[in-house]
Amino acid sequence: MIFIGLIITLLGFALSVASLGMASSVNARLVMVVAGIAVSLFGIMGILNPAYLKNAIWRK
Amino acid sequence: MKKPITLAFLAMALVAAGLAQAPPAAAPPGGAPPAAAAAPVAVPITDADLKGIEAPKPELRLKGDPDGALTGTVADVAVADPITDKTPKAKGLTIADVVNQIGQNKIGINFTWTLMCGFLVMFMQAGFAIVETGLCRAKNANHTMMMNFAVYSVGLLAYWLIGFSIQMGGVGGVANLGGAPTLNSEYAITLFGKSMGLFGQNGFFLTHSGTYDVGVMVVFLFQMVFMDTALTIVTGSCAERWKLVAFVVSSFMLGAFIYPLFGNWAWGGGWLATLGTNFGLGKGYCDFAGSGVVHSVGGLSALAIAMMIGPRLGKYTRQGKSNPIVGHDIVIVLLGCLILAFGWFGFNPGSTLGASGNGNLRISSVAVNTMLAGMAGFFSSMLYMWMRYGKPDASMSGNGLLAGLVAITAPSGFVNPVASVIIGLIGGLLVCLSVEFVDRVLKVDDPVGAISVHGANGLWGVIAVGLFADGKSNYGGSWNGVSGSVTGLFYGDASQLVAQLIGVSTLIGFVFVLVFVVNLGIDALVGQRSSAKSELEGLDLPEIGQLGYPEFELKAKA
């Protein structure tokens, strides 16, 4: 899950960078970049962190 | 119900006052036509003008100079071809000498300003050290101080060896500092038909490719202390359970590769800086003094490593409920916050990299913005804690001050005082909410709140540029190679906000991942976390071999 979390976080960044080539209007770029940020945050908080919490020291 | 309404009204009034300055006045009140600006009058100076200028007589100087009228005269201007007894036909003082002296004075002023500000930023290490140590338990005091001390050395060497060239080796020359033409080799790739810089290639060891240069040295010193600030943020979040050897390796990697890479993209002519010239996004990614480059990089690195090494023993119950672990010395915590606030006057105003020429007199505005946002952050966090918990929490108020300062770091050179207060107020609230979120929802243990202070507020600062930049700043007529002033969404340029958000996405989606992967490797090689036995005993003896407070016997509460 850690690996998947990292990949998804990176995908968010890739989406933001892709906005530079795939869109030319400011609004379209804005939407893509915000979506990219949301994907990255999901990767960190939704996948990566829960993967660590599953084996957290306080659960043992 | 009255308090929230009053606060909301206050906030609206501040916003309205700030935005009221948005549109540039087309005509002065009353409709009168604007007065024509007086054309500058060129006064030609000839060598004849210099004839009457004489140095004070030596006998006058021998009587002393109590009012300073005789010190700093023509006698102090360097003359290329001086008239002496042996060279009576020499040219003596010429226009060229005078002009050269003016040029050197300008660069001298800018060198002095930038170096002094760099020294102030270096002193922030002391602030960070005692804030972090005070917020930790006494049994880890020496370990925490040692990490803060060691990071200065480890970071400096890493940056000198590799980091500086990666960050500034491409386009590191600064006109304010006389230029540094040897910092001119940027590795770039072509993407979407545009050249996008990735890293610099000149300046290794500060000798490579002619970089043994006075201007380069100023750039290095100033950038180095910034880099070290980012590194020292991590030590706070990972305190009380981070193995020293892992900290040393991790800090080296951060100072040598990770920080400089993002630093290059933002400040060294890299692809984020050229978003304006390449893709028409405002003036490119703008980060005046480093909310993103310094604080977000530090804060997100702290999040990655703190997540990886896990919370301190006893921080969470088996049910996942958070237990507060109180620091041992709130007095030095608040003193440290004040030291940091003082050092921030080097951080932000110093980021003009000069005090003379190219719009650099705006240092006064930058300094006032810094002061306002810091105090606004303190005020809003104090108020929030007071209203929510019945007491104004001292450590959180201190964090509010730092949050305001972090948030204004990127916009400080581009916004007006009203916007600064708004940015600071939001920063102070954000840090309180973020600390609760990180602690209770993410269950990431952050003993000093650095993830929230630097990570969350760093990102907020980057976004704030895209919202509040008022288009009134002018640093030599352009920024990142795009002519005009940095202008945010509220002042008419939405594309600047997009550039800022791409920076935010890069920090969250790329820098975080890079830090995580590097530290996974370090974890596999040397292990990140100290043993449970060492942690319970306190890391002072097991890791450093000396107690922070040897004369005191630490007793458990009955």
Each residue of B5-59: pLDDT tens digit? 444 444 544 444 444 444 333 333 334 444 445 555 666 667 677 777 788 888 8
> Are B510 and A52 inside 8 Å of each other by CB?
no
DSSP B501-554: HHHHHHIIIIIHHHHHHHHHHHHHHH-SB--HHHHHH-SIIIIISS-SSTTSPP
B411/B399 Cα distance (integer angstroms): 19
**In percent, how much of chain B has pLDDT > 90?**
77
CA-based nearest distance B383→chain A, Å? 29
- Neighboring chain A residues of B501 at a CB cutoff of 8 Å: 16, 30, 33-34, 37
Q: What is the pLDDT of residue B32?
A: 40
Cβ-based neighbours of B399, under 8 Å, separated by 6 or more: B337, B381, B431, B435, B449, B452, B453
Question: For B297-318, how does the pLDDT look when each residue is reduced to its tens digit (9 = 90+)?
Answer: 999 999 999 999 999 999 999 9
Which of the 8 DSSP states describes residue B284?
B
Q: Does position B61 have pLDDT exceeding 70, yes or no? A: yes
Alpha carbon distance B295, B297 (integer Å): 5
Contact B502 A16 (CB under 8 A): yes
Quote the pLDDT of residue B44: 67
pLDDT of residue B389: 95
In angstroms, rounded to a whole number, what is the distance separating the alpha carbons of residues B290 and B282? 18
Chain A: nearest CA to B174, how far in angstroms? 28
* All residues at 6 or more sequence positions from B452 whose CB lies less than 8 Å from its CB, including other chains: B299, B399, B403, B430, B431, B434, B435, B437, B438, B446
CA closest to B504 among chain A residues: A37
Task: Provide long-range contacts, Cβ within 8 A and 24+ apart, for B436-441.
Answer: B438/B303, B439/B322, B440/B322
Packing angle, helices B417-436 and B2-19, rounded to 10: 140
What pLDDT is attached to residue B74?
Answer: 87
d(CA B394, CA B400): 10
Q: Which helix (H) or strand (E) holds A41?
A: helix A26-41
For B11-25, give one letter per residue: b (16+ CB within 10 A) or e.
eeebeeebbeeeeee
- The C-alpha angle B403, B408, B411, rounded to 5 degrees, equals 150
Is the CB of A16 less than 8 angstroms away from the CB of B509? Answer: yes
Which of A26, A44, A57 comes nearest B494 by C-beta?
A: A26
Pick B143 or B46 by higher pLDDT: B143
Range of weakest confidence among A26-30, B441-445, B543-547: B543-547
CB distance A9–B317 less than 8 Å? no
Q: A59: nearest CA in chain B? A: B318
Instruction: Indicate which of B190, B439, B495, B498 best probes the interface with A, i.e. most A CBs within 10 Å of its own CB.
Output: B498
User: Which candidate from A9, A26, A45 shows the least CB-CB separation from B513?
Assistant: A9
pLDDT at site B349:
97
Greater confidence (B173 vs B393) lies with: B393
Tell me the C-alpha distance between B85 and A35, whole Å: 78
pLDDT of B553 reads 61
Is pLDDT of B540 > 60?
yes
Please state, in angstroms and rounded to a whole number, the distance separating the CA atoms of residues B355 and B434: 37
| pTM for the whole structure | 0.90
In this structure, what token pair is assigned to residue B76? Answer: 């102090």
Which of B19, B39, B503 has its CA nearest to residue B273?
B503
The pLDDT of residue B52 is: 73
Distances (CA, A) of B443 to B86, B89, B307, B416, B436: 81, 82, 9, 38, 9
Give the model's pLDDT for residue B6: 46
Contact yes or no for B375/B367 (Cβ under 8 A): no
pLDDT of residue B16: 47
Can you give the pLDDT at residue B458?
A: 98
Q: What is the pLDDT of residue B41?
A: 65
Helix, strand, coil percent content, chain A, rounded in steps of 5 = 90, 0, 10
C-alpha B323/C-alpha B504 separation (Å) is 32
Q: What pLDDT score was predicted for residue B558?
A: 45
Residue B322 — very low, low, confident or very high, per pLDDT cuts 50/70/90?
A: very high
Residues with Cβ within 8 Å of B286's Cβ and at least 6 positions away in sequence, in order, are B410, B414, B465, B469, B479, B480, B486, B496, B499, B500
Do A9 and A37 meet the contact criterion of CB atoms below 8 Å apart?
no
Mean pLDDT, rounded, of chain B: 90
The predicted pLDDT at position B255 comes to 97
Residue B311 and residue A59: Cβ atoms within 8 Å?
Answer: no
Residue B6's alpha-carbon distances to A21, B14, B422, B429, in angstroms, are: 46, 12, 15, 16
Mean pLDDT to the nearest integer, B432-457: 97
* Structure token pair of residue A12: 């968010």
Q: Which residues contact B13 (CB under 8 A, 6 or more apart)?
A: none
What's the Cα-to-Cα distance from B66 to each of B60, B61, B247, B255, B558, rounded to whole Å? Answer: 12, 10, 55, 49, 68
User: Are B443 and A53 inside 8 Å of each other by CB?
Assistant: yes
Which distant-in-sequence residues (6+ apart) come within 8 Å of B219 by Cβ?
B168, B172, B174, B177, B180, B183, B353
* pLDDT exceeds cutoff 90 at B187: yes
Over the stretch A32-43, which tens digit does the pLDDT of each residue have? 999 999 999 999
Asked if B498's CB is within 8 angstroms of A13's CB, the reply is: no
